[in-house]
Amino acid sequence: MTTQMILCLAVLIFMMVGYVAGSKFKISNGAVAMMSIVLICLTGILPDKQVLSGLLTSNTIQIIGMFIVAEGFSRTQAVKKVTQLVYKVSGGRFTIMLAGYALLTFALVNLGLTPMTAFAVVGPLAATCCSDFDVSPSKMIFPLALVCIVGCGVLPISVAATNYATMNGYLESYGYTDYMMQLTDPMKGRLPIAIVMMVYAIFIAPKLCPNQSSADSNFEVRKKGKKEEAAPLDPVREVLGYAIFALTTLALVFQAQLPFNAWQIAFAGASVVMFSGVLTPKEGIKAIPMRIVLMLAAANVVGGAMVECGLGEVIGDTLASFVGNTHNGYILGAVFFFIPFALTQFMNNQSIGNIFTPIIILTCQSLGCSPIGPLVLLYAARQSAFWTPAATGTIALAVGLGGYDQKDLIKMSWIPSLIIGVFGVLWIMTVFPAFPG
């Protein structure tokens, strides 16, 4: 390893330890994130221009915009009507409400919406419903985020229908065409995992979520007599509040057919909320989750540094040599799941794919085995990023809506991670054996 790789690894360790243990020294996660960015700057791994570009990305702008739009919607009386309807339909049962939102989330992420966009639509609605059920949003938000991330692109429709073709393109480019992926192969491998996670998210995950938010959340349950309710909006702004939310949501759903990016839609919605007076400047600023913004910035900068200095590739090469000449498909699958899974908690999903796809193909080619199972497992690993706010914008949104801290995420994540890893490896490497008879 080079000096830059060692320094980058040290900053990564500092960041993660700081997130977990910083509260004991009265150091916030935002402060740890800022210091991590400073340390990367001092190492010189990334040029200043790249560091600056990581501070405010399109994902971050979309998150800020949707928090402002959602806060504007929460100021309307329409929210109370929606929550009353949900309460009536569910019969006042929290599990039924959660199941309904989980199914809606799964549908959206399989109809072409990215996990973060789908969660930006469903999350605020689900959080506001919790008040009528006298339940903290912390009990509901992470389970929905889990469904959103793990269930994304499971069905071979919309963009997900091209996944197999992309993998076949890689196989052809590396001259290993003995095995080719079929359209339904990713679904065969990942759908059972998604179903198990759906059941887990509805019936088990809420039990491991904190009873109340551990950090600031704009959607915490308002206890009677403890917090003064804001004055109702006037009729014009009342209509604007839910009209802006509805139009922004529809624009995000059909974003692929529009000449705008998701961040542009969210930012435009937030701008109209502020300009129309649905939120005051103070309310709008308060709606921005600065802790999450800083942690996302640190994730972008540190993750970019890992790619720039080659630390991710070194880890991948070490992994390939570790596999050696094993002829046990389950060991092969486990290695190619758990290492990318660990890295995707800190690095960009696409970067993980770019690093490990060729490593898997070349390793399987040298062993003369099928790469289909390991490639499907790699995709499952990439869609299991929920341990840290750095993992994905979806978790960054969830942290803000549910009021979680890093300890909460670790407590909520280890069981689903174990289920996905163990069940996923056993299932996928059985359906797609590395050494078919």
**Under the phi-then-psi rule, with left for phi > 0, alpha for psi from -120 to 50, and beta for the rest, what region is 92?**
left
42-76 residue pLDDT tens: 999 899 888 998 888 887 888 788 878 878 877 88
Judge whether 59 and 296 are in contact, CB under 8 Å.
yes
Which amino acid does the sequence have at 192? P
Buried residues in 35-48 as b, exposed as e (16+ CB within 10 A): bbbebbbebebbee
pLDDT at 139: 93
Closest CA to 133 of 84, 99, 100: 84
Which parts of 151-289 fold into alpha helices (H)? 163-173, 185-203, 205-208, 235-253, 262-275, 281-287
Burial class (CB in 10 A: 0-12, 13-18, 19+), 271: middle
- Cβ atoms within 10 Å, residue 88: 10
CA distances from 154 to 32, 52, 184, 261, 390 (A): 35, 35, 10, 23, 23
CA distance 136 to 296: 24
pLDDT at 388: 84
**Under the phi-then-psi rule, with left for phi > 0, alpha for psi from -120 to 50, and beta for the rest, what region is 324?**
left
Strands, E assignment, 207-250: none
pLDDT at 192: 96
Low-confidence stretches of the chain (pLDDT beneath 70): 79-80, 82-84, 112, 132, 158-159, 215-230, 312, 315-317, 319-320, 322-325, 348, 437
pLDDT at 1: 77
CA distance 101 to 148: 10
pLDDT at 224: 38
Rounded to two decimals, what is the model's pTM?
0.77
pLDDT at 320: 63
- Cβ atoms within 10 Å, residue 364: 25
pLDDT at 82: 67
